[in-house]
Amino acid sequence: MKRIVVGAHYGLRDWLVQRVTAVIMAVFALLMLFIVVFHRPEHYGAWSALMSQQWMRLASLLFLLSLFWHAWIGARDIIMDYVKPDGARLAVQVVVVLLLVVYALWSIQILWGIY
Protein backbone atom coordinates (compact mmCIF):
# COMPACT_ATOMS: atom_id res chain seq x y z
CA MET A 1 0.00 0.00 0.00
CA LYS A 2 1.35 3.36 -0.98
CA ARG A 3 0.85 5.84 1.82
CA ILE A 4 1.96 9.44 1.46
CA VAL A 5 2.08 11.06 4.88
CA VAL A 6 3.95 14.18 3.84
CA GLY A 7 4.00 16.29 0.70
CA ALA A 8 1.63 18.62 -1.03
CA HIS A 9 -0.91 16.24 -2.48
CA TYR A 10 -3.73 18.30 -0.96
CA GLY A 11 -1.93 21.64 -1.29
CA LEU A 12 -3.27 22.88 -4.61
CA ARG A 13 -6.85 21.90 -3.79
CA ASP A 14 -6.74 23.68 -0.43
CA TRP A 15 -5.05 26.74 -1.96
CA LEU A 16 -7.88 26.92 -4.49
CA VAL A 17 -10.63 26.28 -1.89
CA GLN A 18 -9.21 29.05 0.30
CA ARG A 19 -9.53 31.51 -2.59
CA VAL A 20 -12.92 30.38 -3.90
CA THR A 21 -14.44 30.51 -0.39
CA ALA A 22 -12.83 33.95 0.11
CA VAL A 23 -14.52 35.30 -3.04
CA ILE A 24 -17.92 33.82 -1.99
CA MET A 25 -17.59 35.49 1.44
CA ALA A 26 -16.52 38.82 -0.05
CA VAL A 27 -19.50 38.90 -2.44
CA PHE A 28 -21.95 37.99 0.35
CA ALA A 29 -20.42 40.55 2.75
CA LEU A 30 -20.83 43.35 0.18
CA LEU A 31 -24.39 42.18 -0.58
CA MET A 32 -25.25 42.24 3.14
CA LEU A 33 -23.69 45.69 3.54
CA PHE A 34 -25.78 46.93 0.61
CA ILE A 35 -29.02 45.41 2.00
CA VAL A 36 -28.45 46.72 5.54
CA VAL A 37 -27.55 50.24 4.36
CA PHE A 38 -30.52 50.55 1.98
CA HIS A 39 -33.23 48.58 3.81
CA ARG A 40 -32.19 49.40 7.39
CA PRO A 41 -33.88 46.46 9.18
CA GLU A 42 -34.02 48.35 12.47
CA HIS A 43 -36.50 46.21 14.38
CA TYR A 44 -37.02 42.50 14.90
CA GLY A 45 -39.86 42.12 12.39
CA ALA A 46 -37.88 43.56 9.47
CA TRP A 47 -34.67 41.73 10.39
CA SER A 48 -36.29 38.30 10.82
CA ALA A 49 -38.44 38.79 7.68
CA LEU A 50 -35.27 39.59 5.70
CA MET A 51 -33.31 36.63 7.07
CA SER A 52 -36.12 34.05 6.85
CA GLN A 53 -36.58 34.32 3.08
CA GLN A 54 -35.49 31.04 1.53
CA TRP A 55 -32.84 32.55 -0.79
CA MET A 56 -31.42 34.53 2.13
CA ARG A 57 -31.21 31.40 4.30
CA LEU A 58 -29.40 29.53 1.54
CA ALA A 59 -27.06 32.45 0.76
CA SER A 60 -26.27 32.88 4.46
CA LEU A 61 -25.62 29.16 4.82
CA LEU A 62 -23.35 29.22 1.75
CA PHE A 63 -21.47 32.13 3.34
CA LEU A 64 -21.13 30.38 6.71
CA LEU A 65 -20.06 27.03 5.22
CA SER A 66 -17.48 28.89 3.10
CA LEU A 67 -16.33 30.63 6.27
CA PHE A 68 -15.92 27.36 8.18
CA TRP A 69 -14.06 25.63 5.34
CA HIS A 70 -11.83 28.70 4.89
CA ALA A 71 -11.23 28.80 8.66
CA TRP A 72 -10.24 25.13 8.65
CA ILE A 73 -7.52 25.74 6.03
CA GLY A 74 -6.22 28.82 7.87
CA ALA A 75 -6.34 27.19 11.30
CA ARG A 76 -4.61 24.08 9.98
CA ASP A 77 -1.81 26.19 8.45
CA ILE A 78 -1.30 28.00 11.76
CA ILE A 79 -1.36 24.74 13.76
CA MET A 80 1.16 23.15 11.39
CA ASP A 81 3.50 26.11 11.93
CA TYR A 82 3.41 26.23 15.73
CA VAL A 83 2.35 22.83 17.15
CA LYS A 84 5.24 20.50 16.42
CA PRO A 85 4.65 17.25 18.42
CA ASP A 86 2.52 14.93 16.25
CA GLY A 87 0.11 13.92 19.01
CA ALA A 88 -0.57 17.45 20.17
CA ARG A 89 -0.97 18.66 16.57
CA LEU A 90 -3.46 15.92 15.78
CA ALA A 91 -5.38 16.63 18.98
CA VAL A 92 -5.64 20.37 18.26
CA GLN A 93 -6.66 19.73 14.65
CA VAL A 94 -9.37 17.28 15.73
CA VAL A 95 -10.72 19.87 18.20
CA VAL A 96 -10.81 22.52 15.44
CA VAL A 97 -12.62 20.17 13.02
CA LEU A 98 -15.18 19.19 15.66
CA LEU A 99 -15.79 22.85 16.55
CA LEU A 100 -16.32 23.78 12.89
CA VAL A 101 -18.76 20.87 12.37
CA VAL A 102 -20.70 21.98 15.45
CA TYR A 103 -20.72 25.58 14.15
CA ALA A 104 -22.10 24.36 10.81
CA LEU A 105 -24.95 22.45 12.49
CA TRP A 106 -25.60 25.41 14.81
CA SER A 107 -25.77 27.72 11.75
CA ILE A 108 -28.47 25.55 10.17
CA GLN A 109 -30.39 25.61 13.44
CA ILE A 110 -30.13 29.42 13.61
CA LEU A 111 -31.14 30.06 9.99
CA TRP A 112 -34.06 27.60 9.89
CA GLY A 113 -35.21 28.31 13.44
CA ILE A 114 -36.18 31.94 12.90
CA TYR A 115 -39.35 32.73 14.85
Is the CB of residue 20 less than 8 Å from the CB of residue 69?
Answer: no
Q: Please report the sign of the dihedral spanned by the C-alpha atoms of residue 91, residue 96, residue 100, residue 102.
A: positive
Residue 79 half-sphere exposure, CB side, CA atoms within 13 Å?
19
3 versus 57: smaller Cβ distance to other proteins: 57
Under rule CB under 8 A, residue 23 binds other proteins: yes
Under rule CB under 8 A, residue 90 binds other proteins: no
Summarize as ranges the residues that interact with other proteins (CB under 8 A).
19, 22-23, 26, 29, 44, 47-48, 51, 71, 74-75, 78, 99, 103, 106-107, 110-111, 113-115
